[in-house]
Chains A and B, each alone.
Chain A
Amino acid sequence: MMRRHLAILADNKPGVLTHVAGLISRRAINIECINAGYTEEADVTRINIVVSVETDWELDQAIKQLAKLIDVIKVVNLDAAPFVGYELAMIKVKCTAAGVREELTNLARLFHAKVVDVQRESLVFRLTGREDHIEALLKMLADYEIIEIARTGQIAISRGVVPVKEM
């Protein structure tokens, strides 16, 4: 399986996500994650998806099918050129003893994670990084009691001056 990062520029209109999600399910495109957000242009939404494909043909079909949607302006495979991709994870861990809190705070420092919420029974890590970085922290946290995890999935952007809309 190959993982490929696609950046989709679409009209910022109701129904766009339905159309994209509907296509992904009906064409049986395997996606690892999907997220959407505003861009530098008010009427354009950027949908970031990571697809896993077996072959280049499958990737090519996915891109062409997505590009065919009326409200999709552009689809770019970011893997075709150097890019940076990161993910945000928030992890809530149980911690009732002061010693445990000390250990967890040390871990956070080692992983360059921030502790963004501290309560008597829990604390929340915020970590931005590549997937393996997040996985490494999760592995360390396996010795503790993880209450909840929320992850964005990767968003990616090309290196250099050229934006996706001009690719």
Chain B
Amino acid sequence: MKMTGAQAVIECLKQESVQVVFGYPGGTVLTLYDELYKHKFPHILTGHEQAAIHGADGYARASGRTGVCFATSGPGVCNMVTGIATANMDSIPLVIISGQVATSLIGRDSFQEADISGITTPVTKHNYLVKHAAELPRVLKEAFYIASTGRPGPVLVDVAKDIFDTVFEYEYPEVVHLRGYSGTYTGQAYDIDKAAAALEQSACPVLLTGGGVILSGMAEPLREIVEKTRIPVVTTLMGKGAVADTYDAHLGMVGMHGSYAANMAVTNCDLLIAVGARFDDRVTCDVENFAPNAQIVHFDIDKVEINKIVRADISINGDLRWSLPLFSRKVSQSAVDFTARQADWRITVLDMKQSHPFATRRMAHAVSPQVLFEEVSRRTDEDAFIVTDVGQHQMWTAQFFPVQRPRHFISSGGLGTMGFGLPAAMGAKVACPDKQIILFTGDGSIMMNCQEFATLHKYGIDVKVIVVHNNVLGMVNQWQRMFYDGHYSQSVIRDNPDLPTLTKAMGVPGFSVREPAELPAALDTLFAVSGPALLDVFIPEDENVYPMVPGGKRLDEMVLGGVDA
């Protein structure tokens, strides 16, 4: 069938069952947007391209489907680079279609020209520059395939402006031929037998859940293993929700702001089974002394991750969709009485969990972050999606807010992108319109994409935004307090605008609360609003996130602080 490049893009989106595009128009994508207009293709116009890509990212994280964005050349798609890097670090499937200047103008420093395939090479799973219309269907087919298979990631397709206008014979390929990429990864079954044998022999095992469990949709078989063995569980930030936080031997997050029990359990265990985790430095801290007594079993789809940071004694390299069901079956058939074998260890870790819970100060005249999270949690069910921005509030959310289901905790982990939260929460709501979406953000983070309250209002996207407001860039401030003699260099932001006034100007009702006694009623008011709303909750400026492992220290050298510090 004859059609233009722009028609071909829309046709490809339909073939790939894309339901919505997040984007922002501009000079080089006028023909593409004209086609979008003719097809009435669902599109969310954000206030900034960065929000479009975080929106598509939040959409992908909440739904598991590939998020799609459009942007124009130069400044348009350059504004997406942070979002592309964010998705790349957390392995989120995205396809970004950007306009490039016309082929005759490429390389001449033309108006709004930027070499975006060059710029994004280090932060995409793959990228393309399309200069011939006939390539477009194949490239888009490959882009969607590469983004969503294997270890997922963002793929950028940069299309020269004239290609959108070129008429050519369209045919969408049915299959992808890539000699350097298969998309399916299975490993050796005997590696799984070795892992199972190691678990059978272990008296003090720990299971470390990573984001891969959630990305692969393999929380179920993992939970079967947990159910059968009652193994103590620790999680990375990205793995939160893989195993329900309410599981009694879930010790919480491990790492720099991990729980006492999680950090001590990893330090003292004799077997660490890491599943879909990549041993980020925020998890391992002093990597030379990470899990020093443990045999390490590493399940991961990405060969590169095996032995990259932590040397694995047993590695199971392959898709968790292949390995975890097999591992689960192996464990369920085992004759070993895991609970009896691990009984002493279980008592030890449960003791640590009970004696050192996460805590912040409880104050009579100021809202304690811990109380805030407990109050919000009381008002939501387990099907609510919890989204965060980046900073202290992010760590507190991870510490205090119980998450029961995979995909229900959404946060920028690897890149730690402030400004991610609001647009990502918006994208999550677009993906799951009948679910409750709650964003926890900070007064620093929220200002980085606060223009998106207008987008929430425009489309009636119901996100409940809770600002944990401490008048400082909390995490920076905490480090300055602890390691820079209290020199609060550029981290005090008391002159921020009044947030409820700001959101009201954009059509979103906002409230603020300062007194602990008024918090429950304020939350009730927030949740009673139909549609998006903001609650600005003031907390003390000097609250620290504890435990904290100072830079370069071992997990068991964490500073506890907390309740009465």
- Chain A interface (Cβ within 8 Å of chain B)? 10-11, 14-15, 18-19, 22-23, 26, 57, 60-61, 64-65, 67-74
- Chain B interface (Cβ within 8 Å of chain A)? 117-118, 121-122, 125-129, 146, 178-181, 302-304, 307-308
Q: Chain B residues near A70 (CB, 8 Å)?
A: 125-126, 146, 178, 180-181
Known A10-B180, A73-B179: A57·B307 in contact at CB below 8 Å = yes
Cα distance A71–B180 in the bound complex, in angstroms: 5
Q: Chain B residues near A68 (CB, 8 Å)?
A: 302-304
With contacts A14-B129, A72-B180 known, what are 20 further pairs, Cβ within 8 A? A10-B180, A11-B179, A15-B117, A15-B128, A15-B129, A22-B118, A22-B122, A26-B122, A61-B304, A65-B304, A68-B303, A68-B304, A69-B180, A70-B125, A70-B126, A70-B146, A70-B178, A70-B180, A70-B181, A71-B180
Cα distance A68–B302 in the bound complex, in angstroms: 9
Known A15-B128, A22-B122: A61·B308 in contact at CB below 8 Å = yes
For B180, B302, B308, the residue with the greatest tally of chain A CB atoms inside 10 Å of its CB is: B180
Known A18-B121, A22-B122, A70-B146: A60·B307 in contact at CB below 8 Å = yes
Interface of B is mostly: mixed
Cα distance A64–B122 in the bound complex, in angstroms: 16
Q: Chain A residues near B304 (CB, 8 Å)?
A: 61, 64-65, 68
A-B contact pairs, 19 of them (CB 8 A): A10-B180, A11-B179, A15-B128, A18-B117, A19-B121, A26-B122, A57-B307, A61-B304, A61-B308, A64-B303, A64-B304, A65-B304, A68-B303, A69-B180, A70-B125, A70-B126, A70-B180, A70-B181, A72-B180
Identify the 9 closest CB pairs spanning chains A and B, nearest first: A22-B121, A70-B126, A73-B180, A26-B122, A64-B304, A73-B179, A70-B181, A72-B180, A64-B303
Q: How far does the Cβ of B395 sit from chain A's closest Cβ, in whole Å?
A: 28
Cα distance A71–B179 in the bound complex, in angstroms: 8
Q: How far does the Cβ of B179 sit from chain A's closest Cβ, in whole Å?
A: 5
CB <8 Å contact, B118 and A18: yes
Q: How far does the Cβ of B145 sit from chain A's closest Cβ, in whole Å?
A: 10
Q: Chain B residues near A72 (CB, 8 Å)?
A: 180
Chain B residue nearest to A65 in the complex (CB): B304
Q: Chain B residues near A10 (CB, 8 Å)?
A: 180
Chain B residue nearest to A72 in the complex (CB): B180
Q: Chain B residues near A64 (CB, 8 Å)?
A: 303-304
Q: Chain A residues near B126 (CB, 8 Å)?
A: 70-71
For A19, A23, A67, the residue with the greatest tally of chain B CB atoms inside 10 Å of its CB is: A19
Q: Chain B residues near A65 (CB, 8 Å)?
A: 304
Q: Chain A residues near B118 (CB, 8 Å)?
A: 18, 22
Q: Chain B residues near A71 (CB, 8 Å)?
A: 126, 180
Q: Chain B residues near A73 (CB, 8 Å)?
A: 179-180
Q: Chain B residues near A19 (CB, 8 Å)?
A: 121
Q: Chain A residues near B181 (CB, 8 Å)?
A: 70
Chain B residue nearest to A26 in the complex (CB): B122
Q: How far does the Cβ of A19 sit from chain B's closest Cβ, in whole Å?
A: 6
Q: Chain A residues near B308 (CB, 8 Å)?
A: 61
Q: How far does the Cβ of A153 sit from chain B's closest Cβ, in whole Å?
A: 23
Q: How far does the Cβ of B359 sit from chain A's closest Cβ, in whole Å?
A: 40
Cα distance A14–B132 in the bound complex, in angstroms: 12
Chain A residue nearest to B306 in the complex (CB): A64
Chain A residue nearest to B146 in the complex (CB): A70
Chain A residue nearest to B304 in the complex (CB): A64
Cα distance A70–B129 in the bound complex, in angstroms: 15
Cα distance A73–B302 in the bound complex, in angstroms: 16
Chain B residue nearest to A14 in the complex (CB): B129
Cα distance A155–B178 in the bound complex, in angstroms: 26
Q: How far does the Cβ of B123 sit from chain A's closest Cβ, in whole Å?
A: 9
Cα distance A70–B179 in the bound complex, in angstroms: 8
Q: Chain B residues near A22 (CB, 8 Å)?
A: 118, 121-122
For B125, B126, B179, B303, the residue with the greatest tally of chain A CB atoms inside 10 Å of its CB is: B179
Q: Chain A residues near B125 (CB, 8 Å)?
A: 70
Cα distance A26–B304 in the bound complex, in angstroms: 15
Chain A residue nearest to B127 in the complex (CB): A15
Cα distance A61–B307 in the bound complex, in angstroms: 9
